Homo-oligomer: A and B are copies of this chain.
Amino acid sequence: MKLALAQINPTVGDLTANAVKIISLLDEAREEEVDLVIFPELAITGYPPEDLLLKPQFIKDNLQALDLVVKKSRGIAAYVGFVDQKKGRLYNAGAFIVDGKIKTIYHKMNLPNYGVFDEKRYFHKGRQPSVVSYQGLKIGLGICEDIWVETGPHRAEVKKGAKLIININASPYHVGKVAERQKLLSGRAKKSQAYLAYVNMVGGQDELVFDGGSMLFDPRGKLAVSCDQYREEMLIVDLENDRMKTAWMEEELEIYSALVLGTRDYVLKNGFSEVVIGLSGGIDSALTLAIAVDALGKDKVHAVYMPSQYSAEQSRQDAEKVARNLGVELSVIPINDVTAAYLDKLNPNFKGRAADVTEENLQARVRGNYLMALSNKFNWLVLATGNKSEMSTGYCTLYGDMAGGYAVLKDVPKTAVYQLVKWRNRSGEIIPQSVIDRPPTAELKPDQTDQDTLPPYDVLDRIMAAYVEENKSVKEIVRLGLAEETVRQVIRLIDRSEYKRRQAAPGPRITARAFGKDWRLPITNRYHA
């Protein structure tokens, strides 16, 4: 049997366009004499449709879009994810379509409701494993989480003679996920003594990045072929003619590509084509610029350097060098005059009080306002440049450097920023060594460095990972060999910055737990242990 793994990038809510994309791949596959084309989970609606699912009209329109696909499937078979409705109940469903007719519909039996997933908010559980016979082959159907559960439908389906299991997915990327998937799937195929076709979605959707990497395993559990990550692909494979798997990406390329795809899709799917970035001369904004250029092309990216009295000459030179290396035009807008004008007017209120964080934040907010003004005037989306270490500890200014529509490095710890910059420079210096070597500084007061306020980033990032990704307590983190005082300091900072994060822009998720859908902490909260 000739299969096509159709790893597509649908857009949430764009029902007709998603159906048209599916249909055009069916046409292409028919030309290639493919027997069965497999599309991702909820390919019709995009994933996750979230509260669009509460709109009755949306459900109807999704069924109509599926109908369009069914009608255009003459002479071929397909397995397509959509939202089914029976007796007023919604199901995360897969339609097995043969030659212009729905042969069977499978309802997802295992609904994830943890991490970034809220499926129990919308869907009812399916009750029936499903085996369909097609061209003499028994095929077991499943959707995403189903294959992760040992007692999932595949077990019953194999008992009923299934020799091919197809599992369709909208599986978001995080570091290490590819290896997890491959290990699990290989085991399932082997145990089942059946082929296992795993088709994933690709594309960015708000904070989630679906990385693709669809795979076919043989009945011994060997990975036969796989799609690339981060791009649409229809991989055609003959079950009897396995090919060898090519290598997966190295970690830095994988992370970097997730950031690029997340950024590109957020910008383009939201109807923008150009972006603007505040370049400070520091490493975060330099990396953000590189990612933006790789996502959108240098002509679509605008950079602004906004110096104050505290900006070092080195910062300007570095900002200019980064922009030049990436081929991006750089504007310069100094912020001193405006900042002084604010403070002048605030004088009667401040009555000679000493300068403090107020004056620092004000500078960041003047910069934020300039970026937003450029955004408003030219319809450029502002990309915020803060990293995860800052976002966690609140070492960032609300409406200042946090201003923007998308925060590219929001889930990238500072230590990973360095790692990615090194990697991006692998075939020639794009981000100058001086940017990498200078101690990080916000340049909001004289001789400031981040480490005046924060512990060294390697320590901070270890504490952050333990606290944020692993829910460890102070005591447990201390037991990892970290100083209790430092642990308490970082956790206090993380806890009390919740109000800032709640007003932050979304950004692409690359770790096992980002400050997004999978981080739901109360703002009002007195627990700090």
Contact = CB atoms under 8 A, between A and B. Distances in A.
Contact of A522 (B49, B350, B473): B49
Interface stretch (A114-122, A136-144, A453-461): A114-122
A191 interface: no
A337 B331 contact: no
Contacts of A118: 118, 121, 520
Contacts of A179: none
Contact of A48 (B348, B349, B522, B529): B522
A381 B341 CA distance: 23
Contacts of A529: 55, 57-58, 61
Interface residues of A, number: 83
Contacts of A55: 471, 473, 527, 529
Interface string A320-346: 000000000001011001100110111
A240 to B, nearest CB: 40
Contact of A338 (B15, B48, B342, B358): B342
Name which of A266, A370, A520, A524 has the most chain B CB atoms within 10 A of its CB.
A524
A407 to B, nearest CB: 11
A342 B370 contact: yes
Contacts of A338: 338, 341-342, 345
B56 A522 contact: no
Most buried by B among A13, A361, A522, A528: A522
Given A17-B526, A337-B345, A338-B342, 16 more contacts: A58-B527, A113-B113, A113-B120, A205-B522, A342-B369, A342-B373, A346-B373, A349-B374, A353-B377, A362-B373, A369-B369, A369-B399, A372-B398, A398-B403, A503-B504, A503-B505
Given A505-B503, A521-B50, A356 B333 contact: no
Interface in A61-102: 61
A25 to B, nearest CB: 19
B522 A13 contact: yes
Nearest to A204: B524
Contacts of A341: 337-338, 341
B405 A399 contact: no
B346 A12 contact: no
Contacts of A337: 341, 344-345
A524 B369 contact: no
A290 B207 CA distance: 39
Contacts of A350: 377
Given A349-B374, A357-B376, A377-B356, A523 B206 contact: yes
A366 interface: yes
Contact of A349 (B265, B331, B358, B528): B331
B12 A526 contact: yes
A529 B60 CA distance: 11
Contacts of A56: 471, 473
Interface string A509-529: 000000000011111111111
A368 interface: yes
Nearest to A114: B121
Given A331-B349, A342-B338, A473-B57, A206 B524 contact: yes
Interface in A471-529: 471, 473, 475-476, 499, 502-506, 519-529
A56 B333 CA distance: 49
6 contacts: A13-B522, A51-B521, A58-B527, A338-B338, A358-B373, A365-B372
Nearest to A345: B333
A526 B21 CA distance: 15
